Homo-oligomer: A and B are copies of this chain.
Amino acid sequence: MGAGDSIDADSRGGRATMRDVAARAGVGLSTVSRVVNGDVNVSAARTLAVEQAIAELGFRRNDSARHLRMGAASSIGLLLESVSDPFFSLINQAVEEVALVRDSLLLSASSHQDAERAKKMVLAFCARRVDGLIITPSEPQEIDYLRAELRAGVRMVFIDRPVPGLDDDDSVATDTVLTDNAGGARTGVEHLIAHGHRRIACFTDRADLFTSHHRILGYRLALEAAGIPFDPALVFSADDVAENFAGPLAAMLAMAQPPTAIFTGNNRSTVAVLRQLVGRPDRPAIVGFDDFELADAMTPGVTVVAQDPLAMGRTAAELLFRRLGGEAGPTQTITLGTTLIRRGSGEQRP
């Protein structure tokens, strides 16, 4: 393009640097830095010269170098169970929105319930010196490496489930954003009871997961409050929802006293049950935990206990940035309420 004086950047194969710009504009390095950063204390003539050189060279500031120097990455890490799961992808979106406002970039990754992978990604984020981390913990969550990073000063907010055993070390501080799983489940099951059901089945994810555990608890709470005896034969939990529900569900429906209603513990369980029951005219009443697209377009519409994943993500991200901004104060656990959305499937009578 120009003369032979842009040899530096071009022939080096890389991009123009501030030094290249300085040379081209015939000014000092710091003048370039000042112009790039909008410092007013630069003469008009020099400002112009620098801007022209920048344009000619296609210079763009290297933010990595900048951040290395400044000691802040302007980026945060987000570890989800799966970026393609509708629930988590909404959290992703909310976090992204907050990060955008804070001029922070988002590094994201999925753990897919794989503790090794989760660890690898978290440590990779930390090695990049992200300002902070938002994490959906694995269960059980390996705790030592997290504590090491926390001690080193990395801020973390946990989302969807807590990490037990981390707060016994007062030198580390983390926050947690949860849904009111037990309360929401209780509301959903009470709704079924209010519509006359007494034989209510419960299908969930692995019962040892934090969320499932609490939702089953809420289910039992509702039964107890209504004086309905808890029947373990009506509860089924499995890790691979889609594959494992068919048999138990069929068996339950073939009981002498079959359930007249089903409470499903999460998105995937609801969908799996719905699939099994497609086209059955005697379909039991259904209330699902967690809303999903098209719940309203089914016939009948599917009544759900809705979480608010956008609010969860936003809350977690805002909390993280406030902490990064220096907000002190004790560890916080924020529990978000749920909303019962009536669409028909939960209002059927026995």
Q: Which residue of B lies closest to A126 (CB)?
A: B60
- From known contacts A14-B71, A152-B58, infer whether A297 and B298 are also in contact, taking CB-CB under 8 Å: yes
Taking CB atoms, residues of chain B closer than 8 Å to A110 are: 93, 96
Shortest CB distance A117–B (Å): 8
A107 at the interface (CB under 8 A from B): yes
8 A Cβ contacts from A123-181 to B: 123-129, 148-149, 151-153
Copy number in this complex?
Answer: 2
8 A Cβ contacts from A66-106 to B: 67-68, 71, 73, 75, 82-84, 86, 89-90, 92-93, 96, 100, 105-106
A271 at the interface (CB under 8 A from B): yes
Q: How many angstroms from the CA of A14 to the CA of B271 in the assembled complex?
A: 48
Q: How many angstroms from the CA of A80 to the CA of B194 in the assembled complex?
A: 45
Interface of A, helix, strand, loop or mixed by DSSP: mixed
Contact assessment for B297 and A274 in the assembled complex, using a CB-CB cutoff below 8 Å: yes
Q: How many angstroms from the CA of A13 to the CA of B71 in the assembled complex?
A: 11
Shortest CB distance A64–B (Å): 5
- From known contacts A13-B153, A84-B93, A278-B299, infer whether A107 and B109 are also in contact, taking CB-CB under 8 Å: no
A65 at the interface (CB under 8 A from B): yes
Contact assessment for A60 and B127 in the assembled complex, using a CB-CB cutoff below 8 Å: yes
User: Per-residue 0/1 for A245-282: is the Cβ within 8 Å of any B Cβ (1 yes, 0 no)?
Assistant: 00000000000000000000000000100110011000
8 A Cβ contacts from A284-311 to B: 292-294, 296-299, 301
Taking CB atoms, residues of chain B closer than 8 Å to A126 are: 60
Q: Which residue of B lies closest to A149 (CB)?
A: B60
Choose from B67, B128, B293, B299 the contact partner of A293 (Cβ within 8 Å).
B293
Q: How many angstroms from the CA of A93 to the CA of B82 in the assembled complex?
A: 8
- From known contacts A128-B105, A297-B278, infer whether A14 and B153 are also in contact, taking CB-CB under 8 Å: yes
Shortest CB distance A52–B (Å): 15
Q: How many angstroms from the CA of A67 to the CA of B127 in the assembled complex?
A: 11
Contact assessment for A89 and B96 in the assembled complex, using a CB-CB cutoff below 8 Å: no
A62 at the interface (CB under 8 A from B): yes
Contact assessment for B83 and A86 in the assembled complex, using a CB-CB cutoff below 8 Å: no
Q: How many angstroms from the CA of A90 to the CA of B88 in the assembled complex?
A: 12
Which residues of A are at the interface with B, using a C-beta cutoff of 8 A?
13-15, 58, 60-65, 67-68, 71, 73, 75, 82-84, 86, 89-90, 92-93, 96, 100, 105-110, 117, 123-129, 148-149, 151-153, 271, 274-275, 278-279, 292-294, 296-299, 301
Q: List 9 A-B contacts (CB under 8 A).
A: A58-B151, A64-B128, A82-B93, A83-B93, A83-B108, A84-B86, A278-B297, A278-B301, A279-B299
